[in-house]
Structure 1
Amino acid sequence: MNWKVITTEAVYKKALARAMEIFHAEEGTPEDDELGVLLLLLKDYEDKHILMPQIEVLEVIKDKMQEQGIKNKDLEGIIGSKSHVSSILSGRRDITLKMAQKLRDFFNLPAELFLRAN
């Protein structure tokens, strides 16, 4: 099939189904070429039409803390004083770049999470 820019959900679903069908195509085959084109077209459609929910960085940090049994005082070495930690976790203060880097490393979180924080 000759694929074109995807503009409707029906064509998107058809393209997605076809991509799944040929997902394991051998490299260098016509199906592999078709898959490459389909993946680009699908990404373009998704970028334009599918909104991803915004992730609240503070909620992620709090969830990670609960998951790992970490208390506020455990973050003092990363964020600063007890009052600093409290201000950050309550949203009264913004996370600085330095804090974001330390939190990213401490919780093993993707850096992109902190780029959307403010």
Structure 2
Amino acid sequence: MSVLIKKAAEHWEFVSPLLRKPKSEDDYDRLVQALDELLEMTGDDESHPLMSLVDIIGDWIEEWDRVHHPTPKPPGFEVLGYLMREHGLTQSDLPGVGTQSVVSEILSGKRQLNLRQVRWLAEHFKLPVDVFI
């Protein structure tokens, strides 16, 4: 038996709870807590010896979230409103969408974006069209 395996076996009872993919919400919660503690220890030091454990646990948490806690996709008009705020745009700064009143109706949810508008917005913001659909 190699020295590495022997050392791992000696400490396994202490390490094994951290090296198990979550199979329940309780497992997930334990891993989230462990990750928080690890991040407090490692800080921003990418060369810290525990960063590989941070990466492993972080990947498992991300996978669990993707499958069990999916984030709902916001409607196109909410994405548009967010992008306008982020870029400091007004309703009249989007001529490819329409007049100020058309943009206002879209932002309030009274009018849906049509395919032409979606294509223009995707090109304008350099984003995939499905962001606005």
RCO higher in 1 or 2 (8 Å CA, sep ≥ 6)?
1
Give the deviation of 1:99 after TM superposition.
3.0
Give the deviation of 1:18 after TM superposition.
0.6
Consecutive unaligned residues in structure 1, runs of 5 or more:
106-110
Query: What is the TM-score of this pair, normalised by structure 1?
Result: 0.67
Query: What is the TM-score of this pair, normalised by structure 2?
Result: 0.61
Q: Where does residue 116 of structure 1 map in the other structure?
A: 131
Cα deviations by residue, 1:56-115 (Å, 9 ceiling, x for unpaired)? 1212324555784713x3321xx16539x828932151234343121x26xxxxx36x43
Q: How does 1:1-118 map to 2 (within 5 A)?
A: 1-2=15-16, 3-23=19-39, 24-25=41-42, 26=45, 27-29=47-49, 31-62=50-81, 65=84, 68=88, 70-71=90-91, 73-76=92-95, 79=96, 82=99, 86=102, 89=106, 90-91=111-112, 93-94=114-115, 95-102=117-124, 104=125, 111=127, 114-118=129-133
Q: 1:86 to 1:37 in 2, by over 3 A?
A: same
- 1: CA distance between counterparts of 2:74 and 2:35? 28
Greater Rg by CA: 2
Q: 1:59 to 1:18 in 2, by over 3 A?
A: same
Give the deviation of 1:51 after TM superposition.
1.7
Moved over 4 A (4+): 63-69
Give the deviation of 1:43 after TM superposition.
1.0
Give the deviation of 1:42 after TM superposition.
0.8
Please give the secondary structure, in 1, of the residue aligned with 2:29.
helix
Q: Over the residues paired in the alignment, what is the CA RMSD in angstroms?
A: 3.1
Consecutive unaligned residues in structure 2, runs of 5 or more:
1-14
Percentage of pairs with the same residue: 11
